[in-house]
Amino acid sequence: MREVWPGDAYPLGATWDGSGTNFAVFSEVARRVEVCLFGVDGREERIVLPEVDGFVWHGYLPGVGPGQRYGYRVDGPYAPEAGHRCNPSKLLLDPYGKAVEGGVRWHEALFSYRFGVPDELNTDDSAPYMPKNVVINPFFDWADDRPPRTPYHRTVVYEAHVRGLTMRHPGIPEAQRGTYAGLAHPVMIDHLIDLGVTAVELMPVHQFVPEHATVARGLTNYWGYNTIGFLAPHNAYSSSGQCGEQVLEFKAMVRTLHQAGIEVILDVVYNHTAEGDQLGPTLSFRGIDNASYYRLRDDDRRYHLDYTGCGNSLNVRSPHALQLIMDSLRYWILEMHVDGFRFDLASALARELHDVDRLAAFFDLVQQDPVVSQVKLIAEPWDVGEGGYQVGNFPPLWSEWNGKYRDAVRDFWRGSFETLPEFASRLTGSSDLYEHSARRPFASVNFVTCHDGFTLADLVSYERKHNEANGEDNRDGTDDNRSWNCGVEGPTDDPAVTELRARQRRNFLATLFLSQGVPMLSHGDELGRTQQGNNNAYCQDGELAWIDWDAAEQAADMLEFVRVVSQLRHEHPVFRRRRFFRGVHAGADGHDADIAWLTPSGEPMTDDDWNAGFAKSLAVYLNGEAITEPDARGRRVRDDSFLLLVNAHSSAVEFTVPGPEFGERWEVALDTAAPGTVGERPRVKPRDELEIVDHSLTVLRRT
């Protein structure tokens, strides 16, 4: 009979100390908890955890070490009307498990009720169909790894999917494609550096499982927003396929990216889990302590409150659920060396009762935590519940995905009326959203496209979603795309349309990189990646969603444009100010202000100019001599001054270069209408007239 010692209630999870492993799991409702050990032959050994302290069940098993597969069984009340769903016939994953082997094999045994009879208890053993946790060796040679700690105002984010980014790259060995090792391959590092990227924001890498309904359609959950293990790196992204090796491979990826000066930000999903609503499977939290881990309806505790659209919401009112979130965040920072997090549907974490509360316990915990508070924290500031759209309302430590930036920039460049004032605000850092809470321009993470919605190429090629491949009769995905197909829906050989589309893509990219705030580029947009009009490719794990690297040669011009505009941002702090523009000046002409807004005729914008709903063009003067903040060494920052000539009209507009008080000579630094001819242009003088073609942006630099 196996020897069992009392062990410790902390830390939670399976912790190997060199001689044995301590197992600890929280459950307030359990009557008995068993840790189940599985041999390589699949045989199961059940050991009762002998001790419980503060609702944490624990025991120490001498001789058990790395590579051991395990899970839990929890015996307790099965009373759905009271919110309890314990069922010892279900093998449960460890909420604190550091690694997972295998995947879910969908079967009725995974559910605690009989199909078609929700009130009948299902006692079939789920272990044959469940993945298993793995005890890991936590030791890793980090060598001289140091976090890059790139300041926000110097940050350029690249949102990427570990699998989709590398699956089709011919320069990566086939065995490493779609994996952490593939992302860390030199060809990928070189590409990121070439783009000026300082941080990769990885779509979910916490262990996730596909939904039963999605698998039934012959598809899968490709994006990964369906977490079941908050401390475990997703095992399918490991190139070795060996038990527990995903942890080492993830750490090696982080170390390699850090050596290149690139930070790693994780897209994390703490708002819900993969267990779905009351009809979902019992995989972990539901069978351990359903009422502690999930928000339940007060009037009928059979049902979950769903602020996420995914069936359940994590119970952030529970101290144990909050502890899990915070322990997970600290683990990824301290043990996995990541540099920040982007919180999916972050408003759901702020719902202590019903309304979103920016002073919720979760934000208090983050604020005072000496580890978590020191990394990059980015909110997706909305959920699907009432009052969930909270752009601009997160606490001072936080940056936000600025959905209003995306919408305003899309509307402006597709030629919508009455968009000029908001476009100007978004271009200059959205002070209307962030300055009131003492935040800086980098509170705004600016993006035009992301994983959710059209790619950049599709944004200028489709006006309607084309999601038929998802098997939901094109009902899924948003209809609010704010896109313009430039006259033809989908692919075309018309040279006028293809040139306009290319120009529009350059307009979006130039606006993104020259706006105040933090630019975020969606992976593959620099290469013209298309999803053929699918704006919700969450279930498309195939060539539709993967980057086609073979098309990179055809995208050479666009790739070069991204390099140029990224370098322009990098070299000139006037495009990445650490403080908002003041808009004040001493002279009557405004040339000594930090920013000036001018009409195409070169005159200062008036209220009538701003309020003219048909206006779709303006000039923006950025004064490089008026940057007030010092650099890291306390020295005053001086920069060149720039003039942005922006024309979203459907016809060319004559711009007059403003008078000599703004500058005596100018040169073209960027032109989205003729990007390859910038160095060939003559210099421009005050009062010169320039024809800015339709749907284009020209940047002049004062010399």
Please state, in angstroms and rounded to a whole number, the distance separating the CA atoms of residues 283 and 91. 7
Taking alpha carbons only, the member of 175, 227, 203, 92 closest to residue 452 is 203
Could you please report the per-residue DSSP string of 500-567? Answer: HHHHHHHHHHHHHHHSSSEEEEETTGGGT---TT-S-GGG--STTTS--GGGGTTTHHHHHHHHHHHH
On whether the CB atoms of residues 201 and 160 are closer than 8 A, the answer is yes
Q: Which of 94, 306, 380, 400 is catalytic?
A: 380
Q: Which residues contact 370 (CB under 8 A, 6 or more apart)?
A: none
What would the 3-class secondary structure string for 424-444 be?
HHHHCCCHHHHHHHCCCHHHE
Please report the beta strands in 248-357, taking only residues with DSSP state E, as ranges in sequence order.
263-268, 340-343
Q: Which residues of 168-206 are buried (b: 16+ CB within 10 A; e: fewer)?
A: bbeebeeebbbbbbbbbbeebbebbeebbbbbbbbbbbb
Q: Which of 344, 383, 422, 594 is catalytic?
A: 344
Could you confirm whether 435 is annotated as catalytic?
Answer: no
DSSP state of 129: G
On whether the CB atoms of residues 273 and 208 are closer than 8 A, the answer is no
Q: Which residues contact 158 (CB under 8 A, 6 or more apart)?
A: 192, 195, 197, 199, 200, 201, 520, 521, 523
Tokens 């959710």 found at: 452
Our measurement of the distance from residue 156's CA atom to the centroid of its chain's CA atoms, rounded to an integer in Å, reads 13
Please state, in angstroms and rounded to a whole number, the distance separating the CA atoms of residues 360 and 339. 24
Strands 696-702 and 69-75, how do they pair? unpaired
Could you please report the per-residue DSSP string of 350-382? Answer: GBSSSSB-TT-HHHHHHHH-TTGGGSEEEE---
What would the 3-class secondary structure string for 468-488 be?
HHHCCCCCCCCCCCCCCCCCC
What angle, 0 to 180 degrees and rounded to 10, lies between the N-to-C axes of helices 403-413 and 495-514? 140
Phi/psi of residue 362, each to 5°?
A: -60, -45
DSSP state of 499: H
Please state, in angstroms and rounded to a whole number, the distance separating the CA atoms of residues 605 and 423. 14
Q: Is the dihedral of CA 111, 59, 13, 292 positive or negative?
A: positive
Omega within 30 of 0 (cis) for the link into 675: no
Q: Which helix (H) or strand (E) holds 681?
A: none
Distances 22 to 7, 42, 94, 101, 660 between C-alpha atoms, Å: 6, 22, 13, 19, 75
Could you confirm whether 344 is annotated as catalytic?
Answer: yes
Which residues are known catalytic residues? 344, 380
